[in-house]
Chain A
């Protein structure tokens, strides 16, 4: 059974800082890994998708990496802004279904 863990559970940083969110998973037999953000009480917004054959993906200030063999992914956010405040979820697409992580709640302080 796939288990997905995100560390830290919560993070508070001053505006402008670069930060790293971590996601670890127990079963490396995956199709892809996807990062989402979720604003309070809302649905999920897709940020980045990394296929199992890829090492990283970039979109604007976001960079996600994947090390499938060690069961780890990181989401790097450069020059954080108050608008980045949200919960960040990673989701691992295995052969049977998608398993979501526990989330990291990020607060960027102006």
Chain B
């Protein structure tokens, strides 16, 4: 399995500010995925991050609000910009370690509270 480290594990932020979440994997992977889990809800895919190209965003998510970087095959960041209380969620990164459509592994998540 993969070791996926997310930082920070939790944060409390003021509305209008931005937070950057880091995801580090101990293996090289082609695609990394960012999910949001709102309180009491299941996971929703925000975007897929490919190394060397623009991230692909799902319907309802835009790059200005959730910019993503993918500088190499083991690291990605997700920024939550101009935060509002509605952004309070758990944010998780995920990888398919053995290639597309294989077993997915998740980081421990970042619990974000916006006040």
Contact = CB atoms under 8 A, between A and B. Distances in A.
The prevalent SS among residues of B at the interface is: strand
B42 interface: yes
20 contacts: A31-B101, A32-B103, A34-B103, A34-B104, A41-B111, A43-B6, A43-B107, A43-B109, A44-B92, A45-B106, A89-B42, A89-B43, A91-B43, A91-B104, A93-B104, A97-B58, A98-B33, A98-B104, A101-B42, A103-B42
Interface of B: 1, 6, 33, 42-45, 48, 58, 90, 92, 94, 101-109, 111
Contacts of B48: 97
Interface string A29-42: 00110101000011
A16 B101 CA distance: 35
Given A34-B104, A49-B103, A93-B101, A43 B42 contact: no
A46 interface: yes
A107 to B, nearest CB: 16
Nearest to A102: B42
A25 interface: no
Contact of B105 (A31, A46, A89, A100): A46
B108 A42 contact: yes
Given A32-B101, A36-B106, A44-B94, 19 more contacts: A32-B102, A34-B104, A41-B111, A42-B108, A43-B6, A43-B92, A43-B107, A44-B92, A44-B106, A46-B103, A46-B106, A49-B102, A91-B104, A97-B58, A98-B45, A100-B42, A100-B43, A100-B44, A102-B42
A41 B88 CA distance: 12
Contacts of A32: 101-103
B107 to A, nearest CB: 5
A89 B42 CA distance: 8
Nearest to B110: A43
Interface in A47-96: 49, 89, 91, 93
A33 to B, nearest CB: 11
